[in-house]
Chains A and B, each alone.
Chain A
Amino acid sequence: MKPAATQKTLRNKKKWDSVKLFLYVLPFILLVLVFSYYPLYGWVYAFFDYKPPRPFSWDDFVGLKWFASLVESDIKIQQIGQVLLNTFVMSGISLGTSWLPMLFAVFMNELRCVPFRKVVQTVTTLPNFISWVLVYSIAFSMFNSTGMMNTLLSNMGVISEPILFLNQSGPGVWLTQWLWLTWKNLGWSSIMYIAAISGIDAELYEAARVDGATRMKMIWYITIPCLLPTFFVLLMLNIANFLNNGMEQYYVFQNSFNKQYIQVLDLYVFNTAMGAGSYSVSVAISMLKSVVSVVLLVGANTVSKLIRGESFI
């Protein structure tokens, strides 16, 4: 039996040890607070008439004025509608083709020549590691008026005047942007599935082979069903990110011709603030966007819990 006093100091020491552990991580927690949580305070700008250089005061409180301004006139409604349409279509195409990486991995697994498969895997993941600026640089070099595509087409006698691919306008922009996105991401997104395929029990294939299954049948009845859980998780994550297209891709590709069809929400938020200087409107939009995103995330997570009994957050 220890005297009560010793027990108390022991407890204090334990407590101090556990707080000491916390103190070690405290500087990093502060960084998180400053760079990720503190900016949330900026949402108040959505309710104020904020003019950047001037100090901030309660006199400028405008309530929901900026939110109302989003739907105040037909022109505004049309503009926001177009931005939403762009966002929905481009995210929709991505969602609708989210099985592509799975297919890519499945068929890559059918390449029996291992060195060839390794080369293909290395080469097709490479575009994921270059920036959007570089992708645009490539696009520009290959598709401008003296680029490879125009030279090739005119050498073949298909065209006499160069086609200005990059000045494309109209809904075709959606497809072009999807193609660039796929070019950049397809190989990389398939890596998750390649990892999942390597985890499939080889005995399944052995048994199927004994029963005389062809490779196509094995893909259909073994590989793809085994990959569906992975597919499902990634699909839910995609749904949660439906409004988050990011702006970098669209920013570097935008010009006066394609602007109408390329502006997704993230880019619109940026252009509204940095181009037109309307900080408050921009904050209001991104606030609405965040709210919808959180709802989507929670929704997707709930669906995941219901179907797989597992959450992904």
Chain B
Amino acid sequence: MKTQTAAVKAHKHHEARSGGDIVLSIVCYTIFTICAFLCIYPFYYIFINSISSNELSSRGVILFYPEGIHLQNYLKAFQISGLGNAAFISLARTVLGTIGTVSASAFLGFMFTQDKMWHRKIWYRMVVATMYFNAGIIPWYLTMRNLGLTNNFWGYVLPAIVSPFFIILTKTFVESVPKELQEAAEIDGAGIIKIFFRIMLPVIKPILATVAIFAAVNQWNAFQDTLLLVTDNKLYPLQFILYQYLNQASSLAIQNSGSSSSGSLAGVGVTTQTPTSIRMTITVIVVIPVMLVYPIFQRYFVKGIMVGAVKG
């Protein structure tokens, strides 16, 4: 920030802007306006289609503003088979998974700073090493099957609890907290658990917010674990339901690729659910939580990544 104000001042005082600088500004503003547009328009496009007349949206004529606005798609959303249950599963795994990951990261991040721990370095390295290798999906799948975690809700939550990256983030943060804080509490006779809950937890809240947002987004977005582990459709999260609808739609598109596909739309009314409207509506429902949470937490995770960057 300082650099910026200094730069502006310098421009005012010292020199008229050179031609090159003006060109640079124009180029920058143009490029970034285009980038921002490319990133946001797809979301806008899907949103306006989901609230427009279903007949128009399935013909693909809605491009820049909604027409024939109605909210029936959202009101009827929970009639889409499996969607209500999928929303519940998504929400449950996000809440439970985040609680698990944040608690474990906070506790381990703190415990791994305790030099007195028996063979602390070995355990810490053992956890961190898992960032760099991977048995592969099939051995992982077979393990989960042996543990009875296929077609089991806990298969979504348990493997995510200990994640080395979040532990490194938290540990780095804990290390920046003055040691005297803990020493003073120890002299007062507080045990390690008490120190963790009373002293450390309140201090490391900012980094836990970062971890929480990452963990929650990971859980909300998770798709691969369902693909591998779950065949019971009662356990499908929103991402998977959306994928199934997309898959159906794209195989229909491939079948119809020879003939013109608009013939089947003859009976579509303004609010009749169509494959297009269902797809767009689910997409918006899945995106919205991320969109709502994300700007609020953005400042946290920019800080978080900087803390992480220090350690590599």
Binding site for B on A (CB under 8 A): 14-15, 17-22, 24-25, 28-29, 31-32, 34-43, 45, 104, 107-108, 110-112, 114, 116-117, 119-120, 122-127, 129-134, 136-138, 140-142, 144-148, 150-152, 164, 166-167, 183, 186-187, 191-192, 194-196, 200, 202, 205-206, 209, 212, 214-216, 230, 233, 244, 247-248, 251-252, 255-257, 269-270, 273-274, 279, 282-283, 286-287, 289-290, 293-294, 297, 312-313
Contacts and interface: CB of A to CB of B under 8 A. Distances in A.
Contacts of B35: 104, 120, 124, 186-187
A21 B6 contact: no
A36 B276 contact: no
A290 B139 contact: no
Interface of B: 2-4, 6-8, 10, 14-15, 18, 20-21, 24-25, 27-29, 31-32, 35-36, 38-40, 42-43, 45-46, 49, 58-61, 63, 104, 107-108, 111-112, 114, 116-120, 123, 126-127, 130, 132-143, 147, 158-159, 161-162, 192-193, 217, 220-224, 227-228, 239-240, 242-243, 246, 249-250, 253-254, 256-257, 261-262, 276, 279-280, 282-283, 286-287, 290-291, 294-295, 298, 302, 305-306, 309, 312
Given A43-B136, A129-B217, 4 more contacts: A42-B138, A144-B249, A192-B305, A251-B227
Contact of A39 (B3, B32, B38, B140): B140
Contacts of B29: 111, 116
Contacts of B283: 134, 137-138, 141
Nearest to A144: B253
Contact of A167 (B104, B111, B242, B257): B257
A273 B141 CA distance: 11
Contacts of A140: 246, 249-250, 279
Given A32-B162, A111-B32, A214-B20, A45 B287 contact: no
Dominant secondary structure at the B interface: helix
Contacts of B10: 206, 209
Given A21-B114, A187-B39, A286-B136, A146 B58 contact: yes
Contacts of B250: 140, 144, 166, 255
Contacts of A45: 138-139, 142
A114 to B, nearest CB: 7
Contact of B242 (A133, A145, A313): A133
A31 B108 CA distance: 13
Nearest to A141: B46
A4 B268 CA distance: 92
Dominant secondary structure at the A interface: helix
Contacts of A313: 132, 312
A138 B118 CA distance: 51
B133 A294 contact: yes
B117 A39 contact: no
B72 to A, nearest CB: 19
Contacts of B249: 140, 144
11 contacts: A31-B158, A42-B135, A146-B60, A209-B14, A216-B20, A216-B24, A230-B309, A270-B137, A273-B138, A287-B136, A289-B136
B223 A22 contact: no
A253 B216 CA distance: 25
B16 to A, nearest CB: 12
B239 A131 contact: yes
Nearest to A230: B309
A21 B143 contact: no
B279 to A, nearest CB: 7
B250 to A, nearest CB: 6
Contact of B39 (A114, A123, A148): A123
Contacts of B217: 129
Contact of B4 (A114, A144, A186, A294): A114
Nearest to B213: A129
A294 B43 CA distance: 39
A282 B239 CA distance: 26
A151 B6 contact: no
Given A21-B114, A255-B250, A130 B45 contact: no
Contact of A142 (B45, B137, B306): B45
A286 B138 contact: yes
Contact of B49 (A25, A127, A141, A183): A141
A43 B45 contact: no
A195 B253 contact: no
Contacts of A129: 217, 221, 290, 294
A34 B143 CA distance: 8
B117 A25 contact: yes
Most-contacted residue by chain B among A32, A134, A282 (CB, 10 A): A134
Contacts of A32: 126-127, 130, 162
A120 B34 CA distance: 10
Contact of B253 (A166, A191, A202, A282): A166
Contact of B286 (A14, A41, A111, A134): A134
Contacts of B257: 145, 164, 167
Nearest to B139: A42
Contacts of B39: 123-124, 126-127, 183, 187
